[in-house]
Amino acid sequence: MEERNASEGIGRGFRKAILVNEHFVVYGVPAIAVPIFSPVEVTAVVRQGAGLQVSVPARSGGDGRAEEDRDRLEAVRRIVRTIGLSERERMIRIRCVDDLPGWSGLGSSAGFCVALVRALFMALNRPCTDEEVNRIAYEGEKVFAANPSGIDNTVATYGSPLWFERGGSPAWEWVRPGLPLWLVIGNSRMPCRTRDEVAKVARFRRARPDLFAGLLRDAAALGRDARRALEEGDAAGLGSLMNQGHSMLKRLGVSNERLDEMVAACRLHGALGAKLTGGGGGGCMLALAADASSGAAVVSGLKRLGHPAICVHLPLSGGRLRARDTS
C-alpha cells in the first residue's frame, strides 16, 4: 500500500565511455565521451518523518542483498542538502537499480547522481532544468572522484556525445559522429576507486612536472585529432588514436598488467583500437570494433580470458537521446 503523505519520483542518468583523454581532462585538456545507453535508475520517496535510507538491490548475478556504500550515502546527503531538503525534517528513501554492478570506469556514480537529482525533483513536484540537474549532480560526484572534471555528470545528464574542456567557454559542445560506433567494454574484475587514481596522477605531476607538461600537450593534440576522426567517420584513425591514448595513460601509471593484457587481446582479435576507460587501476577497458561481427569476435576473445564483456552500438544520429526515453 502506498504510504500516506508520501510522494515518489523516478530518475535516470546515463553511463559514459571516454574515447580519449581521461585524467588529462582534469587539467583542462579536451576529452571526448559518449553515453552508454543503459541508464542507472533511482527511485526516491519523500514523506513525513525523518531519516535517510539508501538501498542498491544486487543484480546481474549478485546475492540479492541491499548494500549501503559510504561514498554513495555521502553523495546522497550532499545532493539532498544542495536541493534544500533535510533528513531531519523529511523521511527520504532512495533505491538504485544498476544493471552493471562492479563495472567501474563507466561513470555509474555520475549516472547515479544525475538520476537521484531527477528523482528527488520529481518527488517534490518541482521543475528542474538539465543545467540545474548537471550542477547539483556535480556536487555528489565530488564524493566519488574528489576532483572531478565534470565530464561524467555532463554526459550522464545530456545523453549525447560530447567534447568537454574543463574551464573552457563553453565547457562542452555536442559532437556529431560521422560513423556508427561499435564499442566493446571489458571488465577487468579488479575494483578501483577513481579518487585514488586521480591522486596518483597528481603525485606524478608533482614528481615529474616537465614530463607531465609534455603529456598534456600531446593529449591536447590527440583530442583534436580524435574529434576530427570521429566527425569525419574515420574509424581506423580513431582506433589508432585510442591506442595512443592508452600508451599515454600507461605512462601516467594508471594502467596495469591485466588492463594491458585485455587491450592487447582486443587488438589481436580485430579491434581497431583499445584502451582503458575511466580512472584506471582496474575497472573497465574500451575497444572500437568495425562492425557487429567484429565486436562479437572481440567480446569472445575477452571472455576466453575470463573477462566479462559486452558490445554496445551507438547508431549514427545527430540527435540526443534523453534518459527518460530508455528503460
- 152 catalytic? Reply is yes
C-alpha closest to that of 188 among 128, 254, 129, 247 = 254
Cβ atoms of 193 and 105 within 8 Å: the answer is no
- 213 alpha-carbon distance from chain centroid: 26
Annotated catalytic residue within 63, 98, 130, 152:
152
What is the spatial distance between Cα 109 and Cα 112, in angstroms, rounded to a whole number?
A: 5
Grid coordinates standing for 216? 598534456
Phi, psi of 166 (to 5 degrees): -60, 125
CA distance 145 to 148: 5
Report the DSSP beta bridge partners of residue 187: 284
Task: Say what the alpha-carbon torsion angle 152, 156, 159, 162 is, to the nearest 10 degrees.
Answer: -10
Give start and end residues of each alpha helix (H) in 7-66.
none
For residues 302 and 186, the answer to whether their CB atoms sit within 8 Å is yes
CA distances from 217 to 159, 220, 292 (A): 29, 5, 35
Q: Which helix (H) or strand (E) holds 66?
A: none
Query: Cell numbers 571489458 label which residue?
Result: 186
Catalytic residues: 152
